[in-house]
Amino acid sequence: MKPDLLIVATYKSWIADEFAETGYVDVKHSLGLEVPIFPEDKPVAWWMPTEVAARFARAGAELNLATIDAHWLTTLPEDLLGRDIWVGTARQALDLGMKELAYCKPAEVKISAAPAQWIEVDYFVNSLLQLGVPEEIKIQVTKTFLDIRYEYRCFVNQKQVTTIATYLTPTGVFGQDGFTRNLSGEVLAADYAQRAVAAIGENQPCAYTLDIAELATGELVVMEANPVWASNPYDCDKTEVVKAVIQGSYTLGHSKTHGSFQWELDPYLTWYAQRRPLLPKA
């Protein structure tokens, strides 16, 4: 299964360039300022931030995208997580009077003004709501402190971990001067991720990214999962990345093929898209 085109809609033009260099599929770069139009009988695939997907969907684009929902992590075996995880809306967190220190983050999106952090839960939620986001936005909270040394990005395609790369080390993150991959750690993390994928069984989409954290103790845990079509490829093998992206975003006409893992606009992304001009089609 290969589409006629992979549309990469982002200002990060180097991602489109790296995907095109694989030669696996034709790639078109878009800044995401207008909705690409293509014939219904021509299959396409997509790579784009979730915010761009939200604006495209609002403008009427047909999208067939696989995703991981906010509660998915809480369904995994406890030994894979190494921590407790609570998921709910910002409103629910306030109603429960959650005031303790915890690691808090928006569950399904990254918001630069409210990054993942160790903070009092109610303070985090109130700071988030002061941005004007809807109270229905989902957040994740864990009271277990994880002393993380490394993090690894794994691309999972049809229950196989096909490529992995380090993106966080004790001295910095991917892209910073002096950043060096932990290649020996990647071997162990890839094996752990594959065992985790096997343990998860059928409760997973056809393609996604799985982030594995290595703790100071050397223990490995599942950190988070993200939609494959919106995940930074870092130094992963770009051909395998493209194959996974295609698997998770293959779009043909009006077909929806991902069942319970079908991406849809959530309250935050709906709010985000509605606050911006309706994109023209081109």
- Mean of pLDDT values over 95-118: 92
pLDDT at residue number 157: 98
> How do residues 198-240 score in pLDDT, each as one tens digit?
999 999 999 999 999 999 999 999 999 999 999 999 999 999 9
DSSP 73: G
Quick one: pLDDT band at residue 38, thresholds 50, 70, 90? confident
**Quick check: pTM over 0.85?**
yes
Extents of the domains making up the chain: 5-67+250-274, 83-142, 146-248
Q: Is the pLDDT of residue 39 over 90?
A: no
Residue whose C-alpha is closest to residue 271's, from 111, 95, 61: 111
Q: Is the pLDDT of residue 98 over 90?
A: no
pLDDT at residue number 72: 94
pLDDT at residue number 99: 86
- Mean of pLDDT values over 160-177: 96
Question: What is the overall mean pLDDT for the chain?
Answer: 95
Percent residues over pLDDT 90 in the chain: 92
- H/E element holding 16? helix 13-21
- Mean of pLDDT values over 253-275: 95
Q: Is the pLDDT of residue 34 over 90?
A: yes
* Domain 83-142 fold: Dna Ligase; domain 1 (3.30.1490)
Quick one: pLDDT band at residue 78, thresholds 50, 70, 90? confident
Residue whose C-alpha is closest to residue 164's, from 193, 138, 144: 193
Percent residues over pLDDT 70 in the chain: 100
The dotted CATH code for 146-248 is: 3.30.470.20
